[in-house]
């Protein structure tokens, strides 16, 4: 193990553990969490590893407290993370909004399980995708990444920290039970400091510092507590000084910037993978664990003479709407397999805008699709 405590080498580990290792490689030094199946292993791994890398692990009294504790730790200058699943994710929503409003970098991992309510705690689902986008009240933009393997959850956890530090916004890693509990080969490279992003800090004098005066990229430099800036931050609508201002104008200025700093930078944020889309007449648009099944279905469709392709969404929020619009000009149909009763399909349908048809392949949760189910939908779509 290198001196900084990050692992390096090739390992056989499950997605939850890989997520924790990704966080440590990304420089995460604070974890607050609460046990919940199937995300518990992330917390367990962090409790074991953080003491050895100069970090702090704390088990809070609930998920509400966990979310707040990572916001606090972030304002003390640490990279901070929490992990949870459906019920805990719901509890975190209010303070996810606080993170957005205070522009606090942090990472929230959701190892999704089937709901509603307690649902199927030990079985996979992708039912929180719209909650990830709209779960907290008010208008805002958020970043959500969806890994499809233990290797990718490792990689994307690092990306999540980088994006959250870059844009001062909570970033969600929307994994699921299948990826979380799946053990596979994970290659952990030596991460050089150059690959890691840290929030920009103010360089002006303390008297002149305005906590919410944004630079050209709409992201304000961030002071941390205890450095003498004596700043004030509030969940109330505020001006550049961070002071509450209860006016329509202040609301417009602030919320517009919070949304725009993500929307105008979406080229930098959005990631996707394309397989055989060049000549495709039908595209399977999938994300997370569903892509692994979809890949097989697309292959079988090709074998059967159907020009099928796949668009694998890695960044789900902000949504890859420009790319879907382009592809809609070319294809007959989009097939959207997801382990819920239709969430991301609504976005695909919106962007296809009638130019191509969309076909949902739902799964109510507790498992993954059978490749034949998706294949059947592909065949149906091209008829």
Distance between CA atoms of residues 166 and 196, nearest Å: 10
Distance between CA atoms of residues 170 and 271, nearest Å: 17
Does 140 sit near other proteins (CB under 8 A)?
Answer: no
Residue among 65, 158, 188, 277 that touches other proteins (CB under 8 A): 65
Roughly how many angstroms between the first and final C-alpha of the chain, as a whole number?
56
Distance between CA atoms of residues 151 and 196, nearest Å: 18
Residue among 20, 36, 80, 298 that touches other proteins (CB under 8 A): 80
Q: Which is nearer to other proteins, 102 or 320 (CB)?
A: 102
Does 227 sit near other proteins (CB under 8 A)?
Answer: yes
Q: Which is nearer to other proteins, 81 or 293 (CB)?
A: 81
Q: Which residues pair with 238 in a beta bridge?
A: 244
Which residue's entry shows tokens 């919940």?
36
Q: Which is nearer to other proteins, 127 or 211 (CB)?
A: 211
Q: Which is nearer to other proteins, 199 or 292 (CB)?
A: 199
Q: How far is the CB of 272 from other proteins (least distance, A)?
A: 34
Residue among 7, 8, 60, 306 that touches other proteins (CB under 8 A): 60
Cα distances from 301 to residues 212, 287, 360, 373, in angstroms, run 52, 19, 17, 12
Q: Which is nearer to other proteins, 214 or 224 (CB)?
A: 224
> Contacts with other proteins: how many residues (CB under 8 A)?
44
Residue among 11, 212, 231, 319 that touches other proteins (CB under 8 A): 231
Distance between CA atoms of residues 241 and 253, nearest Å: 13
Do 307 and 300 contact (CB within 8 A), yes or no?
A: no
Q: Quote the radius of gyration of the chain (alpha carbons, Å).
A: 21
Residue among 36, 43, 71, 368 that touches other proteins (CB under 8 A): 71
Does 226 sit near other proteins (CB under 8 A)?
Answer: yes
266-272 own/partner pairs: CB under 8 Å, 24+ apart: 266/318, 268/166, 269/143, 269/163, 269/167, 269/315, 269/318, 270/315, 270/318, 270/320, 270/323, 271/145, 271/159, 271/314, 271/315, 272/311, 272/312, 272/313, 272/314, 272/315, 272/320, 272/323
Does 204 sit near other proteins (CB under 8 A)?
Answer: no
Contact region for other proteins (CB under 8 A) — 59-67, 172-180, 345-353, 363-371? Answer: 59-67
Calculate the dihedral angle through the C-alpha atoms of 200, 203, 208, 209, rounding to the nearest 10 degrees: 20
Q: How far is the CB of 200 from other proteins (least distance, A)?
A: 18
Does 56 sit near other proteins (CB under 8 A)?
Answer: yes
Does 58 sit near other proteins (CB under 8 A)?
Answer: yes
Which residue's entry shows tokens 């490792």?
154
Q: Which is nearer to other proteins, 33 or 127 (CB)?
A: 33
Contact region for other proteins (CB under 8 A) — 63-71, 141-149, 182-190, 350-358? Answer: 63-71
Does 72 sit near other proteins (CB under 8 A)?
Answer: yes
The CB-side HSE value for 132 (13 A sphere, CA atoms) comes to 31
Q: How far is the CB of 68 from other proteins (least distance, A)?
A: 4
Does 8 sit near other proteins (CB under 8 A)?
Answer: no
Does 94 sit near other proteins (CB under 8 A)?
Answer: yes
Contact region for other proteins (CB under 8 A) — 11-19, 61-69, 123-131, 349-357? Answer: 61-69
Distance between CA atoms of residues 337 and 344, nearest Å: 9
Does 62 sit near other proteins (CB under 8 A)?
Answer: yes
Contact region for other proteins (CB under 8 A) — 12-20, 54-62, 322-330, 365-373? Answer: 54-62
Distance between CA atoms of residues 137 and 133, nearest Å: 10
Task: Specify the length of the chain in residues.
Answer: 383
Which residues contact other proteins by CB under 8 A? 30, 32, 51-52, 56, 58, 60-62, 64-78, 80, 94-95, 98, 102, 224-236, 243-244
């Amino acid at each position: 193990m290198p001196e900084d405590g990050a692992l390096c080498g090739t390992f056989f580990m499950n997605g939850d553990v890989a997520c924790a290792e990704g966080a440590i490689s990304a420089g995460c030094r604070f974890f607050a969490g609460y046990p919940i199946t199937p995300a518990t292993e992330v917390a367990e791994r962090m409790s074991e590893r953080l003491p050895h890398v100069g970090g702090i692990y704390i088990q809070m009294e609930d998920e509400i407290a966990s979310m707040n504790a990572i916001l606090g730790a972030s304002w003390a200058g640490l990279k901070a993370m929490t992990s949870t699943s459906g019920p805990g994710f719901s509890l975190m929503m209010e303070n996810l909004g606080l993170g957005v409003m205070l522009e606090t970098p942090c990472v929230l991992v959701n190892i999704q399980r089937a709901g509603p309510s307690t649902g199927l705690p030990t079985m996979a689902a992708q039912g929180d995708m719209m909650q990830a986008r709209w779960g907290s009240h008010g208008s805002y933009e958020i970043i959500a990444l969806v890994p499809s393997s233990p290797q990718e959850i490792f990689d994307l956890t690092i990306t999540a920290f980088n994006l959250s530090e870059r844009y001062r916004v909570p970033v969600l890693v929307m994994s699921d039970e299948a990826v979380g509990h799946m053990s596979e080969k994970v290659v952990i490279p030596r991460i050089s400091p150059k690959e890691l992003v840290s929030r920009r800090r103010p360089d002006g004098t303390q008297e002149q510092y305005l906590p919410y005066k944004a630079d050209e990229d709409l992201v304000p430099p961030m002071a941390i507590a205890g450095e003498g800036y004596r700043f004030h931050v509030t969940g109330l609508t505020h001006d550049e000084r961070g002071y509450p201002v209860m006016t329509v104008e202040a609301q417009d200025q602030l919320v517009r910037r919070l949304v725009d700093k993500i929307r105008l930078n979406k080229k930098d944020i959005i990631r996707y993978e394309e397989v055989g889309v060049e000549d495709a007449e039908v595209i399977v648009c999938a994300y997370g664990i569903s892509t692994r099944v979809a890949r097989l279905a697309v292959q079988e469709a090709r074998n059967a003479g159907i020009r099928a392709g796949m668009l694998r969404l890695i960044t789900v929020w902000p949504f890859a709407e420009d790319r879907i619009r382009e592809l809609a000009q070319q294809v007959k149909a989009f097939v959207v397999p997801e382990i819920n009763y239709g969430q991301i399909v609504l976005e695909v349908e919106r962007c296809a805008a009638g130019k191509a048809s969309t076909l949902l392949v739902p799964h109510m949760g507790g498992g993954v699709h059978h490749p034949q189910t998706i294949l059947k939908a592909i065949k149906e779509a091209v008829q």
